[in-house]
Amino acid sequence: MRAYDVILKKRNGGELTSEEIGFMVNGYVEDRIPDYQMSALAMAIYFQGLNERETTDLTRFMVESGDQVDLSGIQGFKADKHSTGGVGDKTTLVLAPLVAAAGVKVAKMSGRGLGHTGGTLDKLQSIPGFSVEFTPQEFVDIVNRVGVAVVGQTGNLVPADKKLYALRDVTATVDSLPLIASSVMSKKIAAGADAILLDVKVGSGAFMKRLEDAVALARLMVNIGSRLGRNTRAVITNMDQPLGRSVGNALEVREAIETLQGRGPEDLTELCLILGGHMLHQAGRCKVPEEGKKYLEKLLDRGDGLAKLKEMIAAQKGLPEVVHNLELLPQAPCQEEFRSPAEGVVEKINAEAVGLAAMILGAGRETKESSIDLSAGIVLHKKVGDAVAKDEVLAVLHSSERWRIEAAREKLREAYIISNQEVKPQPLIYEVIS
């Protein structure tokens, strides 16, 4: 077989066989196929697409390119959850302990990631002492003992994705549905859980800006998961404005703790309960997801989710008292208000612009090497639909360096649209796909 012929076949719209896909993935990981041929194939896929069978084969060969996490040492049902990413998305910090409090094991490997704020691992590391580095055996032991752990990747997971993603990033081939779906699902399948819940975000702060694209991506990922024997479900959720009120690592941990204390923002609380209801349903713990949601509401009210988070923090060497004393989290020395230029109603908050403002404040990474200011970020005092008076506080900006606040203020001016129109409430959930 020759790489040239596989590229030509896809360029001309042909359907690739399993052997051809395996030949390309394995050859690329083993350095027999050079970057220029793999990028030509990625571009051919970008234009010609892959059908579901081809995408599933691509995912499978990517999974098999490296280690797979063995969770067989964990007793009980293992659930995993993945978000396609959004601004202020701290659902894992609330959801993982809450679902674990209901008796479903949550063994989660998370990323740091580039972007407006750090990934879940960065957020968790704003808890003093918190560690995300554990051996596979320690990971299994913590999940068995506590019911939940959120750690960094161990082993050589999906090397094909690491190499291919870096190549796509510089060859304008990231935004291809089959390439995104196989990239996400290969990592989830390799992570070893029995069930996967995908939170596919759509809107101004999400990867997918249009509902029909989010639905198509979700369908494809669910079908790949099912074809590869995993109980997979997707919930399409709103990311047209930031989720909750806080954007930034320590600020998001603070908000997650407040949510588990029962005093979190309504949208974040509701979303976590809905997603959690689906996870309990996937685990066979309830007849319908709504029943699972009701049960989780009870656990939340009783403080069981907070207690579970405290146990998880202690097991991962962090300071457990943080769940009762939020002052133990990093605090930014510079905090300045951002006030409304006019009277009216908040019509829109462009989530992407808020994310960029948070990044300017120091909350995110521009390159893999950049360091993060864990205390930096934004707390939104007004959200879509809220009435505001002229000069009322819309948000508070947090940073370690004052010059960053001025730069971020400019971005935030772009983000907030104040008008006199009536604003319709936005849906939190668009669709569930299973």
Say whether residue 83 binds ligand URA (CB under 6 A): no
Say whether residue 180 binds ligand URA (CB under 6 A): yes
Nearer to ligand URA, 207 or 261 (CB): 207
CB pairs under 8 A, 24+ apart, for 327-331? Answer: 328/128, 329/126, 329/127, 329/250, 329/253, 329/254, 329/375, 330/126, 330/250, 330/374, 330/375, 331/250, 331/375, 331/398
Nearest approach, Cβ of 83 to ligand URA (angstroms)?
10
Say whether residue 63 binds ligand URA (CB under 6 A): no
Say whether residue 379 binds ligand URA (CB under 6 A): no
195-202 and 78-83: which strand pairing?
A: parallel
Catalytically active residues are 82, 161, 168, 183, 187
Q: Give the residue at shortest CB distance from ligand URA.
A: 183
Say whether residue 185 binds ligand URA (CB under 6 A): no
Asked if 380 contacts 394 with a C-beta cutoff of 8 angstroms, the reply is: yes
Q: Which stretch binds ligand URA (CB under 6 A): 20-28, 68-76, 178-186, 327-335?
A: 178-186
Nearest approach, Cβ of 183 to ligand URA (angstroms)?
3
Asked if 173 contacts 39 with a C-beta cutoff of 8 angstroms, the reply is: yes
Report the C-alpha gap between 177 and 181 in whole angstroms: 6
Say whether residue 55 binds ligand URA (CB under 6 A): no
Place of tokens 């994705």: 161
Residue 221, phi-psi category: left (phi > 0), alpha (psi -120 to 50), beta (remainder) = alpha
Nearest approach, Cβ of 116 to ligand URA (angstroms)?
14
Closest CA to 111 of 190, 168, 205: 190
**Amino acid sitting at position 128:** P
Nearer to ligand URA, 55 or 375 (CB): 55
Footprint on residues 116-175 left by ligand URA (CB under 6 A): 165, 174
Residue 9 burial by CB count (10 A; 0-12/13-18/19+): exposed, middle or buried?
A: middle
Contacts of 97 (CB under 8 A, 6+ apart): 106, 148, 260, 305, 306, 308, 309, 312
Say whether residue 191 binds ligand URA (CB under 6 A): no
> Binding residues for ligand URA, how many (CB under 6 A)?
6
Nearer to ligand URA, 151 or 184 (CB): 184
DSSP 322: G
Nearest approach, Cβ of 180 to ligand URA (angstroms)?
4
Q: Show the tokens assigned to 181.
A: 């779906």
Nearer to ligand URA, 140 or 184 (CB): 184
Nearer to ligand URA, 102 or 359 (CB): 359
Q: Which stretch binds ligand URA (CB under 6 A): 27-35, 177-185, 194-202, 379-387?
A: 177-185
Which position among 65, 83, 91, 183 is part of the footprint of ligand URA (CB under 6 A)?
183
Q: Show the tokens assigned to 118.
A: 């750090």
Nearer to ligand URA, 201 or 411 (CB): 201
Say whether residue 184 binds ligand URA (CB under 6 A): yes
Helix (H, G, I), strand (E, B) or coil at 358: helix
**Amino acid sitting at position 77:** F
Nearest approach, Cβ of 207 to ligand URA (angstroms)?
6
Nearer to ligand URA, 46 or 295 (CB): 46
Report the C-alpha gap between 259 and 91 in whole angstroms: 10
Nearest approach, Cβ of 1 to ligand URA (angstroms)?
26
Nearest approach, Cβ of 78 to ligand URA (angstroms)?
21
What residues are paired with 205 via a beta bridge? none
Say whether residue 214 binds ligand URA (CB under 6 A): no
DSSP 394: E
Closest CA to 355 of 187, 113, 126, 121: 113
* Residues in touch with ligand URA (CB under 6 A): 165, 174, 179-180, 183-184
